[in-house]
Chains A and B, each alone.
Chain A
Amino acid sequence: MKKHIYKILFLTTPFLFSCGKDFLDKKPIIGVTSDNFYKTEEDAIAAINAAYAALQFELSPAGHFRWFWGDIMSDDSEKGGSGDNDVVELYQLEHFQGPVNTDLLDAEWNADYEGIYRANVVLEKVPSIEMDEALKARILAEAKFIRAWFYYNLNTMFGGTPLVDKVLAPSEYNLPRADAATIWAFIEKDLQEAIIDLPLKSQYSQKDLGRITKGAARSLLAKAFLYQRKYADALVQTQEVIHSGEYSLVPDYGTIFTQAGENNSESVFEIQYMNASGGNWGKNAANEGTFTNVFTRARGQFAGYGFNIPTQDFVDEFFKEGFEDPRLKYTVFRLGDQMGDRGIFTLANAGDVGYIYHPRKYFSNLSEDAPFGDPNPNGGSNDRVIRYSDVLLMDAEAAFQTGNEDAARASVNIVRKRVNIAEVTASGQQLIDAIYHERRVELGLEGHHFFDLVRTGRAAKELGPLGFKEGINEVFPIPNSQIVLSNGVLKQNPGY
């Protein structure tokens, strides 16, 4: 019988340890789930910060820098690098032989929609959080600006893309393209709404320096209107910015693109970067630094990749008025120039790749290199997206186009006066040409020129010799990978 007791114990013991109900209920150990997030004010701030983080995307994983599209695609600069084959697709794009299947455009498209998603998450989740209502309104307005910014990029680059105005369910991903006008209307609506709740620059506390302001939203809205040639609407916005009293040009043009010049009094919209986050290559690799510094620095002892090489045509623009425009030396390095603390620019020092010019605005000194980690992905220069002088020149253009030449001259002359050059007195076509000249010189190599040429209808004339074809190259091809994934729901732009 004793034996049987052991046997019975043997049989029953395992069944005494039955599994608890929560044995199968495994929640993620790392990270919170969406259900448990978006409950507090801190969550709301973290959500909007993640949308800001998307502004920093520029290598995702292929490069899609603003200066790729705004400068290299224009006649202001050439690709550069170690030769034509160094990022050959960029070479092809700048000669308007654009392959439809390049990583570079994939990356731009991807990053824009990831930013839109992050803004949409904020707009969907934050309203139901119990928190300070004023802060909530501000966060929602910041999200609308960020969403509008990414649509602005998409619409100017590709001309009408799928309109995603909420967090999509998997069954909703495959959207056809909306036309450009629909997207413009959406951008305008987002910005108009954002303007209501965004604080003025001066209303933010110091710790929030870098957040989107009312002035930034108005300026981006002005840009959107100008792109559509809605000059009167643009003028309303530029005037609001000018009369807000929030912005003024710094006296010394040469300080704008220094570390000290970051977030200065003429900074309207600036994407923030720092050199000491220790992050690594890749868009979500906890990186708060920019790659622009290393990409645009000269090769050789300057330890850069030598991209974005200013053209002779661009340099000549600075001599158009019969003297050397004082802004040239802060925009372009010429042979013999001292390149900060990195040495003198000679062909030999710069790796013998034969470039006689290098861009200066995003040059960083050796002393400003990342204090730790890989310096290449950790450039510290903020991306000056909209400066006050851009607003003034947009104002001048809008005023001119709405028939107010005096106001146009006044605004353009504020910009000229800062660098102590003679006031513009011209009128008619000469005046608008002067405004265009001023934009090219004042805002050179800041990622504007290609889009300025396209929106003002000058692209075919200026870029035709480089291969630009009217009616085709105003926009880039839709990334082929997306067309393939959509099984043809997305239609390619004409001519590609």
Chain B
Amino acid sequence: MPYSKNTITSTLLAFILMIFCYSMEAQTVSGRVTSSESNEPLVGASIRIQNTNQGTVTDADGTYVLSGVQPGDSLIYSYIGCIEVRLSYQGQSQLNIQLSSDDRLLDEMIVVGYGSQKRSSITGAVSMIKSDEITSTPALRIEQALQGRMAGVQVSQSSGAPGAPLTVRIRGTGTINNSDPLYIVDGVPVGGLDFLNPSDIESVNVLKDAASAAIYGARGSNGVVLIKTFNGKRNQEGIVQYNAYYGIQNAWKKPRLLNAREYAILSNEAHIAAGAAPLPEFANPDALGEGTDWVSAIMQSAPIYDHQLSISGGSEKSTYVISGNYFNQEGIIGGKKATFDRITARINTTHQVKKWLLLGNTLNYTWLNRDGITDNSEFNSPLIRALNIDPVTPIRKANGTFAYSPYTDTDIANPVNAIEQTFDSWTTNRVVGSVFAEAELFKGLKARSTYSIDNTFANQRRFYPKFDLSVDPVLSDAPATEKNLVNSVGFNANKWSNWQWENTLTYIFTIGKDHHLNALAGTSALLNRHYYNGGANTNLPSNKWEDAYISNTIDPIASQSSYEGADESALNSYFGRINYDFKDTYFFTATMRADGSSRFGANNRWGYFPSFSGSWIFTNDGLLDNWLALGKLRLSWGQNGNDNIGNYGYTSVISSGQNYVFGPGEVITNGSVALGASNPDLKWETSTQTNIGLDLDLLSGRMQVITDYFVKKTSNMLYAIPVLSTSGTAAPVQNIASAINKGWELAAYLKSRPTSALQYNIGGNLTFIHNEVTDLGTGGEPINTGRIQSANSTVARTDVGHPLASFYGYVTDGIFQTQDEVANHAFQSEGTSPGDIRFKDLNQDGVIDVNDRTYIGNPIPKITYGLSGNAAYRGFDLSLFWQGTYGNDIYNGSVRYDFTYVNRPQSALERWTGPGTSNTQPRVSLNDPNQNARVSDRFVEDGSYLRLKNIQLGYTLPSKLMQKVAIRELRLYISAQNLLTFTGYSGMDPEIGVVGSPLELGIDKGFYPQSRIWMAGVNLKF
């Protein structure tokens, strides 16, 4: 962050020097060029005499000698990343110049597809964050660092479990298909970012509009995230950086559930309501007391820590960075059984081999280990079990072994034991790297060739130990989920080997004085290959994880299962781009990409994706007003595709192994059939996006406002619609639907004057998105998704005229207070009684049935926003970062209402017990004949939240003191993540990303909540 600005401007310095030295003849001037921030010498800074070829560069001490200077000449001091200083030479023999770093926002270099541009010349909609923002919050994964930082980029947790992926949506959910953006790291397309160490990243640029992303053609429609990793600087002495933090994670909220006494009271009522005798052991509920707090039993404090070491630097012709990182996080649910471990190592180098030839590489190795406990499952996650198991059952029996619940059965097993019995470990080794050569063929024309690989080797080992919670193991009285009488071992191995070869030609030239052109042409070939194998067997004598290998099992080889297979996809592309600007004022860009994808049938193999964009800097007419330093208008249009479907979707594959048994010897005989349907007409989906934007630089560049309005239409959306069982097959992928996303984005930034002692900056962004399905193809039938077990029905519906995956169900209308009210209302069910929920008869046909459902909620936020503030004063720094959503709903499916005997939230105490007792909480009944648990607005809650994602207080030790011990910088900090959350949502966490299917949004099935983390850290540089 630019809080450390405290400088005398170079021009002022030059002016002072000018007074002392004055002469008229051609002279020699020497001096030193240093950084105004650090006082360190700037090596390789250039000094030129304007309008001549004369010039020099500074040496390793930052000193220079320039001869042949005449008084009155204009000297230009420049250095990459610093503000140029021009001064009129007045005959001095010595000129020491300080350059200050250039953080004027419009002159930032923005990484775009296959190149970079100054922000001022950007015509599309691109957002960027830089390393200081990424590392300002200790980010566990790079996606977290993007959350709330950029307008139009929505990031949410898909689980709070360590190492869980995040959901990233650029300009809304563009498609009912996979809406994940395309990730390009140093030019390499990668699937997922879990391998990256956030500290290695220099910048993240997000191409939001179609015109910017069109250069990525068939893969660009969900936006493109371009990540650039650090490299060293030339002529820079090695800098060693060590960063570390340690933190403790805790639950920020615990649900309030019934205690044993309350549970028993409700159980008794439920039995009586269903005409059954109450359980004798619940005759005196008061005797049961508090009972077991299952949620506390499965949650704990868990550590999180990170160590990061990097060395970077460069010689005259080479640069390097070497870094290593170790990260470890345990889960607040599952503890060590939910550990995420990551080791990364990186080497990036560049070498100027010839004057015209630059070679370089990036190489990243990552080792990941993720021990998974089941999360986000309404069937068997520890959390859903803890929320639903009765509080009467103790965790352990008197003899110390785990107890099972005699009341809850089937899914709801003892969660503490379930965690204990979980052994599920993913280990990943991944190498992502590239080599490139760039040749300047003649001035302005560069050819670049890049070959890259992304090889991932991922293994999963699972062990299901033998256990039996039976009171009497001989009788084996425990229900099926509370015992496993034969242990088993399973192993899966996956290898993803992807390579890409890209070749580009760039030609930068000027016609006349004012017409600047930059032309790009390129080709790309990409091959993805996935190879997998695995096996399983039963009966391991030792029942220990350490021994859990298939070869240690004693069941015969004949019982082992094994499999092996592979699949491939290929992409071949040609692309081109022309950037043109007139007088640095009018900008125009046109791009075209042709993509051929193996995922589509031969009929639809090639797609063509054009874009056009332009911008106008309307303040370049010399009217540089102090309050408006720069104003720019942008307009763009483009088309992108999405090929995020599985391989071979156009054809149907015959599956063997659909066997039957024939003959007296019971011979297993092969049967084969296609389990899925084919679609030979399959093609990419297309999104067309128009963007209009306005950039304003105010208050001498201290304030920036960027706003964009966009309309994004997606058509031919690919989706395997859930099909009726009459198909007899799994659903085929079809090009069936269209949707529109309209939105408005605003980002603003304000920072303090560089000279003020108190340095501060405030940034904020705001995104309004409206999403609507406009067409659902042939038949136009709505898509029902998001099945939840507690209602045994789907919750979400995607239909024309409504947002994607909107909640769809019955509308409640209070509680029947009397039998008369039941009789006078539309027929709901035979068993409907007073105390049951009254559902609205929307079609007024006198019967409550599926035709009485309607749209009852929208999981997509109307507004997402982020707000950051940083302040620094005399070595202290404080930062706050807030993030939130507004206007989204959550369907709370975390209570298994399909089991009428499981535990309930405290709100169940407000139940109806007689006329007038409640108009919101229905009576309790063992058999729920009225289906009070059916999908209805009763379970739809406002999911808006505002969260203090991070607050951090740091102190940088005085540099004078540190220099004595040869330390460049030492900073200590404490920080808290998720310290405050404001939400009306009753569940454990309102921040719920996509879980499972892309059309399952905002459905809480026992969501693994994010933790509150207290941490302390150190940044050391020498």
Comparing A165-173, A392-400, A401-409, the segment that makes contact with chain B is A165-173
Asked if B662 and A286 make an inter-chain contact with CB atoms under 8 angstroms apart, the answer reads: no
Beta-carbon nearest neighbor of B901 in chain A: A85
The winner among B597, B598, B668, B725 for most chain A CB atoms within 10 A is B725
B85 in the interface, Cβ–Cβ < 8 Å?
no
A331 in the interface, Cβ–Cβ < 8 Å?
no
Chain B 262-273: CB-based contact to A (< 8 A → 1; otherwise 0): 000000000000
Chain B 533-577: CB-based contact to A (< 8 A → 1; otherwise 0): 000001100000000000000011011110001111111100000
Asked if B658 and A284 make an inter-chain contact with CB atoms under 8 angstroms apart, the answer reads: yes
Asked if B410 and A86 make an inter-chain contact with CB atoms under 8 angstroms apart, the answer reads: yes
B652 in the interface, Cβ–Cβ < 8 Å?
yes
Docked CA distance A273–B572 (Å): 50
Chain A 35-64: CB-based contact to B (< 8 A → 1; otherwise 0): 101000001001111111101100000000
B782 in the interface, Cβ–Cβ < 8 Å?
yes
Docked CA distance A47–B658 (Å): 9
The winner among B476, B568, B571, B734 for most chain A CB atoms within 10 A is B476
Q: From residue A168, how far is it (CB to closest CB) to chain B in Å?
A: 6
Instruction: Find chain B residues with CB under 8 A from A47 CB.
Output: 671-673
B784 in the interface, Cβ–Cβ < 8 Å?
yes
Given A24-B570, A121-B673, A484–B447 Cβ distance below 8 Å?
Answer: no
Docked CA distance A173–B678 (Å): 14
Docked CA distance A55–B662 (Å): 13
Comparing A70-78, A126-134, A367-375, A456-464, the segment that makes contact with chain B is A367-375
A14 in the interface, Cβ–Cβ < 8 Å?
yes
A348 in the interface, Cβ–Cβ < 8 Å?
yes
Docked CA distance A276–B668 (Å): 9
| B:891-922 near A, CB below 8 Å | 899-901
Asked if A286 and B659 make an inter-chain contact with CB atoms under 8 angstroms apart, the answer reads: yes
A305 in the interface, Cβ–Cβ < 8 Å?
yes
A323 in the interface, Cβ–Cβ < 8 Å?
no
B280 in the interface, Cβ–Cβ < 8 Å?
no
Instruction: Find chain B residues with CB under 8 A from A492 CB.
Output: 849
Q: From residue B833, how far is it (CB to closest CB) to chain A in Å?
A: 13
Beta-carbon nearest neighbor of A110 in chain B: B725
The winner among B651, B675, B726, B929 for most chain A CB atoms within 10 A is B726
Docked CA distance A92–B829 (Å): 14
Chain B 583-609: CB-based contact to A (< 8 A → 1; otherwise 0): 000000000000011100010010000
Q: From residue A324, how far is it (CB to closest CB) to chain B in Å?
A: 30
Asked if A30 and B565 make an inter-chain contact with CB atoms under 8 angstroms apart, the answer reads: yes
Asked if B670 and A88 make an inter-chain contact with CB atoms under 8 angstroms apart, the answer reads: no
A174 in the interface, Cβ–Cβ < 8 Å?
yes
Chain A 1-35: CB-based contact to B (< 8 A → 1; otherwise 0): 00100011011011101010001111111111111
Complex partner residue of A102 from B408, B488, B792, B794, CB under 8 angstroms = B792
Q: From residue B645, how far is it (CB to closest CB) to chain A in Å?
A: 13
| B:773-795 near A, CB below 8 Å | 778-779, 781-782, 784, 787, 791-794
Asked if A482 and B659 make an inter-chain contact with CB atoms under 8 angstroms apart, the answer reads: no
Instruction: Find chain B residues with CB under 8 A from A351 CB.
Output: 475-477
| B:281-307 near A, CB below 8 Å | none
A114 in the interface, Cβ–Cβ < 8 Å?
yes
Q: From residue A84, how far is it (CB to closest CB) to chain B in Å?
A: 8
Asked if A273 and B661 make an inter-chain contact with CB atoms under 8 angstroms apart, the answer reads: yes
Asked if B658 and A174 make an inter-chain contact with CB atoms under 8 angstroms apart, the answer reads: no
A277 in the interface, Cβ–Cβ < 8 Å?
yes
Comparing A205-213, A310-318, A444-452, the segment that makes contact with chain B is A205-213
| B:630-662 near A, CB below 8 Å | 647-648, 651-662
A109 in the interface, Cβ–Cβ < 8 Å?
yes
Comparing B207-215, B478-486, B854-862, the segment that makes contact with chain A is B478-486
B722 in the interface, Cβ–Cβ < 8 Å?
yes
Docked CA distance A164–B476 (Å): 46
Asked if B570 and A26 make an inter-chain contact with CB atoms under 8 angstroms apart, the answer reads: yes
Complex partner residue of A272 from B568, B660, B782, CB under 8 angstroms = B660
Given A49-B659, A303-B485, A372-B538, A173–B927 Cβ distance below 8 Å?
Answer: no
B667 in the interface, Cβ–Cβ < 8 Å?
yes
Asked if A28 and B653 make an inter-chain contact with CB atoms under 8 angstroms apart, the answer reads: yes
B427 in the interface, Cβ–Cβ < 8 Å?
no
Interface size on A, residues (CB 8 A): 108
Docked CA distance A113–B728 (Å): 5
Instruction: Find chain B residues with CB under 8 A from A120 CB.
Output: 728
Interface size on B, residues (CB 8 A): 110
Docked CA distance A351–B657 (Å): 38
Docked CA distance A483–B853 (Å): 13
A301 in the interface, Cβ–Cβ < 8 Å?
yes
Beta-carbon nearest neighbor of A175 in chain B: B726
Instruction: Find chain A residues with CB under 8 A from B357 CB.
Output: 10
Q: From residue A215, how far is it (CB to closest CB) to chain B in Å?
A: 17
B974 in the interface, Cβ–Cβ < 8 Å?
no
Docked CA distance A407–B426 (Å): 70
Docked CA distance A83–B354 (Å): 82
A274 in the interface, Cβ–Cβ < 8 Å?
yes
A480 in the interface, Cβ–Cβ < 8 Å?
yes
Given A263-B664, A305-B480, A170–B723 Cβ distance below 8 Å?
Answer: yes
A101 in the interface, Cβ–Cβ < 8 Å?
yes
Complex partner residue of A352 from B475, B527, B659, B660, CB under 8 angstroms = B475
Asked if A299 and B476 make an inter-chain contact with CB atoms under 8 angstroms apart, the answer reads: yes
Asked if B602 and A25 make an inter-chain contact with CB atoms under 8 angstroms apart, the answer reads: yes
Instruction: Find chain B residues with CB under 8 A from A239 CB.
Output: none
Given A50-B658, A206-B663, A34–B782 Cβ distance below 8 Å?
Answer: no
Complex partner residue of B668 from A15, A34, A288, CB under 8 angstroms = A288
A182 in the interface, Cβ–Cβ < 8 Å?
no
Beta-carbon nearest neighbor of B529 in chain A: A29
A116 in the interface, Cβ–Cβ < 8 Å?
yes
Q: From residue B77, how far is it (CB to closest CB) to chain A in Å?
A: 32
Beta-carbon nearest neighbor of B473 in chain A: A301
Asked if A31 and B663 make an inter-chain contact with CB atoms under 8 angstroms apart, the answer reads: no
A429 in the interface, Cβ–Cβ < 8 Å?
no
Asked if A348 and B409 make an inter-chain contact with CB atoms under 8 angstroms apart, the answer reads: no
Asked if A278 and B850 make an inter-chain contact with CB atoms under 8 angstroms apart, the answer reads: no
Asked if B726 and A35 make an inter-chain contact with CB atoms under 8 angstroms apart, the answer reads: no
Asked if B849 and A14 make an inter-chain contact with CB atoms under 8 angstroms apart, the answer reads: no
Asked if B662 and A208 make an inter-chain contact with CB atoms under 8 angstroms apart, the answer reads: yes
Asked if A174 and B437 make an inter-chain contact with CB atoms under 8 angstroms apart, the answer reads: no
Complex partner residue of A482 from B410, B656, B725, CB under 8 angstroms = B725
Instruction: Find chain B residues with CB under 8 A from A173 CB.
Output: 723-724, 726-727
| B:653-706 near A, CB below 8 Å | 653-664, 666-675, 677-679
Instruction: Find chain A residues with CB under 8 A from B596 CB.
Output: 24
A192 in the interface, Cβ–Cβ < 8 Å?
no
Asked if A31 and B605 make an inter-chain contact with CB atoms under 8 angstroms apart, the answer reads: no
Given A11-B447, A373-B538, A301–B565 Cβ distance below 8 Å?
Answer: no
B873 in the interface, Cβ–Cβ < 8 Å?
no
The winner among B441, B659, B661 for most chain A CB atoms within 10 A is B661
Asked if A300 and B671 make an inter-chain contact with CB atoms under 8 angstroms apart, the answer reads: no
Asked if A11 and B441 make an inter-chain contact with CB atoms under 8 angstroms apart, the answer reads: yes
Asked if B727 and A46 make an inter-chain contact with CB atoms under 8 angstroms apart, the answer reads: no
Given A31-B653, A35-B651, A278-B561, A109–B476 Cβ distance below 8 Å?
Answer: no
Asked if B356 and A3 make an inter-chain contact with CB atoms under 8 angstroms apart, the answer reads: yes
Given A11-B447, A207-B667, A373-B559, A300–B475 Cβ distance below 8 Å?
Answer: yes
> Can you give 14 contacting A-B residue pairs, CB < 8 Å?
A10-B357, A23-B598, A24-B597, A26-B568, A113-B727, A118-B658, A120-B728, A170-B679, A208-B662, A210-B663, A481-B794, A483-B850, A484-B850, A485-B784
9 more A-B contacts (CB under 8 A) besides A276-B666, A481-B793, A485-B723?
A15-B523, A33-B653, A34-B652, A34-B653, A86-B479, A170-B679, A274-B666, A485-B784, A492-B849
Instruction: Report, nearest first, the 3 A-B pairs whose CB atoms are least far apart.
Output: A117-B728, A372-B559, A49-B671
